[in-house]
Amino acid sequence: MALGLAAAVFSPFNYLVILKVDRMFRARDVRRALRNTLFWLFD
């Protein structure tokens, strides 16, 4: 239920999220990727 609600709320941003995740995994630097993701989430 909660995941469905979150998906509905964030659906307009799915494309940006996919781009962000794709770029994160392409970096192949887990620590940097996690740090960048945290900065991105809490900016």
N residues, the chain:
43
Mind listing the pLDDT tens digit for each residue in 1-43? 566 666 666 667 777 777 787 776 775 667 777 787 777 777 5
Q: What is the domain extent for residue 22?
A: 2-42
* Structural contact between residues 3 and 12, judged by C-beta atoms closer than 8 angstroms: no
End-to-end CA distance of the chain: 27
Q: Supply the pLDDT for residue 5.
A: 64
* Structural contact between residues 33 and 27, judged by C-beta atoms closer than 8 angstroms: yes
Number of domains in the chain: 1
